[in-house]
Amino acid sequence: MAVLLIAEHNNKELRPFTLNAATAASQIDEDVHAVIIGQNSTEATKQLSELPVVKKVLSVEAAHYENFTAENFAPVIIKLAENYSHIVCSANTFGKNLMPRIAAHLDTSQVSDIIKVISPDTFLRPIYAGNAFATIKSNDVKKCVTIRPTSFDPCDGSGGSAPIEKVEAGEEFSNTKFVKREEIKSDRPELGTARIVVSGGRGMQSGDNFKLITEVADKLGAAIGASRAAVDAGYISNDHQVGQTGKVVVPDLYIAIGISGAIQHLAGMKESKVIVAINKDGEAPIFSVADYGLEADLFEAIPQFMEELNKLNTIQK
């Protein structure tokens, strides 16, 4: 039986992690079908049909799908599930919210946040904030799997032409009402997919000082991250949090400034290719994962860092 991929989108376009989830789905079985549930999502549906790994697209449209409410989405997928061996989506807030609601209805024990497909029924997943890896075999008839997007490369975005099939919408779940979404718009790269991430922690001491992080990020074309401590203290908004209960990032370069490196933070960034730590406490645990550690006062180091960057002829984008 084929694998059903749940596409994540914003009605206008696919969200980037759909491509990573598509890769994971295709590693489970080559026969990948993708379902897209939304409202006026023609363009996103077309994008989905162009992913070469997707063999068929199922499109479900209705006004009550506009805001991706799990209570509305789950019944659609449960109905489709009889034709599929696996249901797959990203382990980001979209998939985390939705998939267990599907799994419980199907009486399936979900496998969350996998980082590797070992075989169609066996997966590798991190536990304890990534301090251990568990190999898990699912014995359920239908398998519900969420995938860690940063552990799978995005699939090709074009070249395919899967047929698009309309599927009838389900009823509206009347006990949940969407009120509003406050998205932080930024011209910077998205945290989850950025090549460079510059993160600040409690050591920044204030939200105002976070502009030093912004300057470095602007210079490097980087996304901005933060430790939980910095978000809790109100220095920066929650969508920047990197760690066990925030986002997982795997950039080519991660620069941790004024971050001590609690295990919960390391869980979100220690797979980065190159890690830089700038901290005045030479004993800070962040140095244990840093490729390049600089023991220094960040308020002296950042201006010097900017100066040195300005001296470079070119900076990779």
Partner 1 sequence: MKILVAVKRVIDYNVQIRVKEDGSGVVTDNVKMSTNPPDDNAIEEAVKIKEAGKATEVVAITVGEEKAQETVRKALAVGADRGIHVKVDGILEPLAVSKILQKIVDKEKPDLVFMGKQAIDDDCNQTGQMLSALLNWPQATFASKIEVKDNKLEVTREIDEGLETIEINIPAIVTCDLRLNEPRYASLPNIMKAKKKPIEEIAASDLGVDVSPRLEQLKVEEPPKRKAGIKVANVAELVQKLKNEAKVI
Contacts of partner 1 in 93-132 (CB under 8 A): 93-94, 96-105, 107-113, 122, 126-132
What b/e readout covers 256-279, taking b as 16+ CB neighbours within 10 angstroms? bbbbbbbebbbbbbbbbeebbbbb
**Contacts to partner 1 from residues 269-288, by CB under 8 A:** 270, 273-276, 282, 287-288
Judged by beta carbon, residue 16 or residue 52, the one nearer partner 1 is 16
Of the candidate spans 27-35, 38-46, 47-55, 173-181, the one that interacts with partner 1 by CB under 8 A turns out to be: 173-181
69 binds partner 1 (CB under 8 A): yes
Q: Do 22 and 157 touch, CB atoms closer than 8 A?
A: no
Choose the stretch contacting partner 1; rule: CB under 8 A; options: 43-51, 151-159, 162-170, 300-308: 300-308
> Rule CB under 8 A: is residue 168 a binding residue for partner 1?
no
Please name which of 19, 59, 18, 17 lies closest in space to residue 38, comparing C-alpha atoms.
59
Minimum distance from residue 207 beta carbon to partner 1 (Å): 15
Task: Give residues with Cβ within 8 angstroms of 24, minimum separation 6.
Answer: 88, 114, 117, 145, 147, 152
Least CB distance to partner 1 at residue 76 (A): 14
Identify whether the C-beta of residue 129 lies closer than 8 Å to the C-beta of residue 267.
Answer: yes
What's the full length of the chain, in residues? Answer: 317
Backbone angles phi, psi at 152, to 5 degrees: -130, 135
* CA pair distance 160, 290, nearest whole angstrom: 41
Binding piece for partner 1, criterion CB under 8 A, among 39-47, 49-57, 150-158, 180-188? 180-188
**Residue from 247, 250, 256, 268 that binds partner 1 (CB under 8 A)?**
247
Give least dist CB 162 to partner 1, A: 26
For position 136 contacting partner 1 by CB under 8 A, the verdict is: yes
Binding to partner 1 by CB under 8 A, coded x per residue (else -) over 39-58, reads: --------------------
Does residue 2 contact residue 83 with C-beta atoms inside 8 Å? yes
